[in-house]
């Protein structure tokens, strides 16, 4: 997957499809969070003003559902990509490039903790570090449960015929508290671990341009860098 | 993480679910609307509220009509009981017609026939009826609660048809001479008065409902056959629903999409940045460069090209003014009609009650009628100009290919049939002069048509199908013949602008 482009100093890190999908997620997640929280607190003071800016609760609800469908469309494209990756490109899901969690991630975590407390060397991350894997899986699985509870809330009459009525209330609670969790995770963990690291600040551009600079590549993904050099040599 | 931590997380989650369920069940049960309603309504209603409040002898509205709050179930039931008190009787008849028709309506029949309106007060719809003697100026007002529908559910907006004419189960309709609206008739076709008080809703999914107007020699000026709805393909010129409408349109749409697919596949047969074989690499390289172009300064020059060279056709203008005028008459008119119909379709989805959108879906509104007619006329003029140039003037540089001729014939027939259809519609539905005059071409055509004593109500469906089939053929043919230039030319302009002569994709 890794290819040198025109400049020798940058390396291809993300494929165009994944960049588009990441943009889809940024756009929809933001609007889902805004419209969702405005809807949940729509009765309180100044949120009433904000909801009216969005065109009222009806419009906010429409936007919320639209973005949810759009976001899930992105997930489906991603799943089709995975099938394509396996069936047509004949690539392997496992291996060192994989985003599947492995034993190395656990040891990396403890090694990183030791390094933070000044008791060892930093871990040699491969293509994805354990925190990046956590981001990916947290989002992917979180969106599934948000999707299921969201569907229950969107079609309560249909689901009341299948499951007991109080599950709809449970789905409501889950949907809200998981939204809080997701926004906290994205806003605090994902934002700080990508953008706020001292040598990355102010912004991580790799997911938008698809390219990573040589210096950053060597520092942040030394494992992958080493394998690259071995292939090239 | 050790076993203890995992266990405590699992137990915690289970506890949360259990607590949430427990909490929710309580709240849900207490707020159940039917339980509350039953408690309050049932016994006090029949005895005390109505019968004690109603005096035995003459009924004057104000005696018992203590303005119940019809936004609550209790108020609705109180208000309904007041109406049913008279209307439930067997012998209640309309006395000012001969023979008197029954006005009987009971709580049970109303609940059976209008299950969705059980908790709606009678005076909610019959707004100004509560007076003595009964008299109404407004009639029944459905659209104070329901939004009017656009093309898709009834195949056309049917804006001159009152809601009840389709949604109620009486077979007899009339064209009201006062406001030119189609309404339910109080008499059957033999002139015998009929009762309309049963409130039975009809099954509008069933085409039989449409046939109460759409039959031969109908009294309301409807076409003699039930026509399919417009298709999404018609969006190019008309406001149309997101529907297939008729299998012919579906087939045309499939051929169109297959054509687009083959066209793109053909583009990718060429080499992309030196890559000759792998389709995967070609797609990723070209999408990579599209992405890089969009997020670079070049995008502004592309926007400029889009506006000047594509919307305003600057490059054709540089070549020849007459060629530009001819091409713009066709292209800009179609583009404007497409823009208008797209705006209408999207706008109606978001704001079905707006005056502007109601005007835009109304074929007889002066703006819509005039805009459609003048744009159609522009297309027709452009086609005539092109035909004259090709077959009569024949300048040296114009090389007429058979594909050009097919295109001209298709668009010309389409627009001509469109005007014929409009004329026939104006004639059949008997649209009054001051409304029809804005669709000036259609009105002229209708005047010409009225000279022939043919039953245009029966010809209209045939012309409709002819117009539809020509449109379907045109759409299906877009990616194959001459009209492919509407995809290829802009793309070529863009690619030329991005990387000069060295084409990224060869067209």
B6, pLDDT greater than 60? yes
* Cross-chain Cβ contact B287/A16 below 8 Å: yes
**Helix, strand or coil, per DSSP, at residue B168:** strand
State how beta strands B181-184 and A211-213 pair: unpaired
To the nearest whole Å, the CA of B265 is away from the closest chain A CA by 18
Q: CA-CA distance, B95 to B247, in Å (whole number)?
A: 52
Tokens of B26: 């309580």
B2 Cβ under 8 Å from any chain A Cβ: no
> Per-residue b/e over B188-220, b at no fewer than 16 CB within 10 Å?
eeeeebbebebbeebeeeeeebbebbbeeebeb
When CB atoms are compared, the residue of B24, B287, B288 closest to A166 is B24
The reply to whether B72 touches chain A by the CB within 8 Å rule is no
At B442 the pLDDT is 93
Q: Please indicate whether, in this complex, the C-beta atoms of B27 and A16 are within 8 angstroms of each other.
A: no
Pairwise CA distance, residues B425 & A124, whole Å: 77
Q: Cα B418 from chain centroid? A: 19
Residue B446 burial (10 A CB sphere; 0-12, 13-18, 19+): buried
- Judged by CB atoms closer than 8 Å, whether chains meet at B291 and A16 is answered as yes
CA of A122 to nearest chain B CA: how many angstroms apart? 21
| pLDDT at position B43 | 41
Q: Who contacts B246 (Cβ-Cβ below 8 Å, separation ≥6)?
A: B228, B231, B468
Helix, strand, or coil (residue B202): coil
Q: With both helix axes pointing from N to C terminus, report the angle between B366-388 and B402-428 in degrees, rounded to the nearest 10.
A: 150
Model pLDDT, residue B379: 95
Average model confidence (pLDDT) for chain B? Answer: 82
Q: How confident is the model at residue B48 (pLDDT cuts 50, 70, 90)?
A: very low
Identify from B22, B24, B27 which residue to disrupt to test chain A contact, counting A C-beta atoms within 10 A and taking the largest count: B24
Which of B108, B74, B68 lies closest to B88, judged by CA?
B108
Quick check: A170 and B20 CB within 8 A?
A: yes
Q: Are B288 and A210 a contacting pair at CB < 8 A?
A: yes
**CA-based nearest residue to B220, from B158, B173, B165, B160:** B173
On chain A, the residues whose CB falls within 8 A of the CB of B27 are: 169
Say if B25 is an interface residue toward chain A (CB within 8 Å).
yes
Q: What pLDDT score was predicted for residue B288? A: 85
- Looking up tokens 């940024």 gives A26
Which residues lie below 8 Å from residue B492, measured CB to CB, with a gap of 6+? Answer: B507
- Which candidate in B20, B22, B279, B290 is best for mutational testing of the A interface (most A CBs within 10 A)? B20
Angle between helix B402-428 and B456-477 (nearest 10): 150
Query: Distance, in angstroms, between B172 CA and closest chain A CA?
Result: 37
Mean pLDDT of B391-400: 74
pTM over 0.80, yes/no: no
Chain A contact for B18 (CB, 8 A cutoff): no
Q: Is B291 part of the contact surface with chain A (CB cutoff 8 Å)?
A: yes
- The predicted-structure confidence for A143-187, as pLDDT tens digits, reads as follows 999 999 999 999 999 999 999 999 999 999 999 999 999 999 999
pLDDT of A6: 52
Q: Residue A15: closest CA among chain B residues belongs to which residue?
A: B284
Burial group, residue B451, by CB count within 10 angstroms (0-12, 13-18, 19+): exposed
Using one digit for the tens of pLDDT, what is the confidence trace for B313-336? 998 899 889 889 999 999 999 999
Residue whose C-alpha is closest to residue B323's, from B395, B257, B238, B264: B395
Q: Number of A:B CB contacts under 8 A?
A: 34
Which of B1, B27, B274, B288 to probe by mutation at the A interface, max A CB count within 10 Å? B288
pLDDT of residue B506: 45
Rounded distance between C-alpha atoms, residue A193 and residue A180, angstroms? 19
B187: which strand partners? B193
Structure tokens at B493: 């302009």
Residues 6+ apart with CB under 8 A from B467: B414, B417, B418, B421
Residue B123 and residue B119: Cα distance in Å, rounded?
Answer: 12
Comparing B42-56, B237-251, B393-407, which segment has the lowest mean pLDDT?
A: B42-56
Question: Which among B408, B374, B385 is positioned nearest to B323, based on CA atoms?
Answer: B385
* CA closest to A58 among chain B residues: B350
- Residue of chain A whose alpha carbon sits nearest to that of B25: A166
Model confidence at A2, pLDDT cuts 50, 70, 90, reads very low
B223 φ/ψ angles, rounded to the nearest 5 degrees = -60, 150
Q: Which residues from chain B sit within 8 angstroms of residue A6, using beta carbons?
A: none
Phi/psi of residue B438, each to 5°? -70, -30
How crowded is residue B357: how many other Cβ atoms within 10 Å of its Cβ?
22
Judged by a CB distance cut-off of 8 A, whether residue B280 touches chain A is yes
Answer whether B291 sits within 8 Å of A89, measured CB to CB: no
A89 contact residues in B (CB cutoff 8 A): 280
The partner residue sitting opposite B17, judged by closest CB among A16, A19, A170, is A170
CB-CB under 8 Å, A89 with B287: no
The two structure tokens encoding residue B244: 């297939």
Which residue in A3, A173, A178, A209 has the most chain B C-beta atoms within 10 A of its own C-beta, making it the best mutation to test that interface?
Answer: A173
Model confidence at B414: pLDDT above 90: yes
B-chain residues within 8 Å CB-CB of A19? Answer: 291
Tell whether the torsion through CA atoms of B380, B386, B389 and B394 is positive or negative: negative
CA A60 to chain centre: 24
Task: Please determine, for residue B52, whether its predicted confidence score (pLDDT) is greater than 60.
Answer: no
Kindly list the residues from chain A whose CB atom is less than 8 angstroms away from the CB atom of residue B284.
15-17
CA distance A137 to chain B (A): 18
The CA distance from B340 to B356, in Å, is 12
Is the pLDDT confidence value at B505 over 60? Answer: no
Q: What is the pLDDT of residue A21?
A: 94
Strand segments, DSSP code E, in B325-451 are: none
Is a pLDDT exceeding 60 seen at residue B13? yes
- Each residue of A126-150: b (16+ CB within 10 Å) or e? bbbbbbbbbbeebbeebbeebbebb
Contact A137, A145 (CB under 8 A): no
Contact call for A15 and B284, based on CB within 8 A = yes
Which chain A residue shows the shortest CA-CA distance from B280? A89
Residue-level pLDDT at A35: 94
**ipTM value for the complex:** 0.75
Predicted pLDDT of residue B30: 41
Task: Quote the Cα angle for B47-B52-B58, to 5°.
Answer: 130
Nearest-5° Cα angle at B52, B50 to B58: 85
SS3 A4: strand
* Residue of B118, B117, B121, B45 lying closest to B80 (CA atoms): B121
Q: Which of A228-232, B341-345, B408-412 has the lowest mean pLDDT?
A: A228-232
Cβ neighbours, 10 Å, residue B500: 8
Count CB neighbours of A217 within 10 A. 20
């Amino acid at each position: 997957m890794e290819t040198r482009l025109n400049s020798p100093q940058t390396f291809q890190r993300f494929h165009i499809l994944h960049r588009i999908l990441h943009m889809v997620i940024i756009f929809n997640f933001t609007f889902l969070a805004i419209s969702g929280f405005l809807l949940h607190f729509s009765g309180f003071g100044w949120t009433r003003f904000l909801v009216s800016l969005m065109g009222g609760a009806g419009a906010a609800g429409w936007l919320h559902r639209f973005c949810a469908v759009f976001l899930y469309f992105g997930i489906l494209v991603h799943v089709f990509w995975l099938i394509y990756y396996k069936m047509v490109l004949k690539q392997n899901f496992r291996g060192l490039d994989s985003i599947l969690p492995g034993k190395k991630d656990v040891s990396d975590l403890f090694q990183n903790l030791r390094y933070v407390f000044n008791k060892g060397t930093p871990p040699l991350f491969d293509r994805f570090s354990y925190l990046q894997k956590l981001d990916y899986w947290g989002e992917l699985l979180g969106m599934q449960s948000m999707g299921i509870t969201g569907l229950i809330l969107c079609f309560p009459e249909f689901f009341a015929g299948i499951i007991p009525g109080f599950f709809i209330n449970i789905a409501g609670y889950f949907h809200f508290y998981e939204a809080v969790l997701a926004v906290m995770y994205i806003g605090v963990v994902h934002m700080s671990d990508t953008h706020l690291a001292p040598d990355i600040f102010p912004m991580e551009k790799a997911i938008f341009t698809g390219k990573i600079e040589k210096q950053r590549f060597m520092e942040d993904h030394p494992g992958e860098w080493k394998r690259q050099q071995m292939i090239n040599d | 993480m050790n076993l203890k931590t995992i266990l405590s997380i699992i137990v915690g989650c289970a506890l949360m679910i259990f607590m949430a369920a427990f909490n929710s069940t309580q709240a849900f049960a207490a707020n159940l609307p039917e339980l509350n309603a039953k408690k309050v309504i049932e016994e006090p209603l029949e005895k005390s509220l109505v019968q004690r409040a109603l005096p035995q002898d003459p009924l004057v509205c104000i005696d018992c009509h203590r303005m119940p709050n019809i936004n609550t179930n209790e108020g609705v039931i109180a208000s309904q009981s007041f109406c049913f008190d008279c209307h439930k009787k067997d012998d209640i008849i309309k006395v000012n017609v001969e023979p008197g028709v029954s006005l009987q309506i009971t709580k049970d029949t109303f609940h059976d026939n209008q299950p969705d309106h059980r908790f709606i007060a009678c005076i909610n719809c019959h707004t100004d009826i509560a007076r003595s003697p009964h008299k109404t100026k407004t009639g029944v007002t459905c659209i104070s609660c329901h939004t009017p529908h656009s093309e898709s559910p009834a195949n056309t907006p049917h804006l001159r048809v009152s809601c009840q004419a389709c949604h109620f189960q009486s077979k007899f309709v009339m064209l009201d001479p006062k406001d030119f609206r189609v309404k339910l008739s109080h008499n059957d076709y033999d002139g015998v008065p009929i009762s309309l008080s049963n409130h039975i809703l009809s099954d509008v999914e069933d085409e039989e409902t449409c046939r109460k107007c759409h039959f031969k020699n109908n009294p309301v000026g409807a076409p003699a056959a039930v026509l399919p709805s417009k298709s999404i393909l018609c969006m190019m010129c008309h406001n149309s629903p997101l529907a297939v409408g008729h299998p012919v349109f579906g087939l045309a749409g499939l051929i169109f999409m297959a054509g687009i697919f083959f066209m793109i596949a053909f583009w990718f047969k060429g080499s992309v940045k030196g890559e000759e074989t792998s389709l995967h690499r070609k797609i990723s390289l070209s999408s990579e460069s599209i992405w890089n172009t969009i997020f670079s300064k070049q995008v502004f020059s592309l926007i400029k090209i889009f506006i000047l060279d594509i919307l305003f056709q600057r490059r054709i203008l540089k070549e020849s003014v007459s060629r530009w005028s001819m091409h713009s008459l066709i292209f800009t008119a179609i583009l404007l009609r497409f823009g208008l119909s797209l705006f209408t379709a999207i706008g109606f989805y978001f704001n079905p009650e707006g005056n502007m959108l109601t005007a835009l879906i109304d074929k007889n509104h002066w703006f819509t009628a005039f805009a459609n007619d003048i744009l159609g006329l522009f297309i027709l003029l452009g086609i005539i100009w092109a035909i004259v140039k090709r077959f009569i003037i024949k300048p040296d540089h114009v090389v007429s290919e058979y594909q050009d001729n097919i295109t001209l014939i298709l668009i010309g027939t389409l627009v001509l049939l469109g005007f014929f259809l409009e004329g026939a519609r104006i004639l059949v539905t008997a649209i009054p002069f001051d409304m029809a005059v804005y669709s000036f071409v259609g009105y002229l055509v209708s005047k010409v048509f009225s000279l022939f004593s043919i039953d245009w109500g029966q010809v209209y469906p045939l012309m409709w199908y002819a117009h539809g089939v020509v449109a379907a053929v045109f759409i299906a043919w877009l990616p194959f013949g001459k009209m492919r230039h509407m995809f290829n030319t802009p793309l070529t302009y863009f690619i030329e602008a991005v990387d000069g002569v060295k084409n990224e994709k060869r067209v």
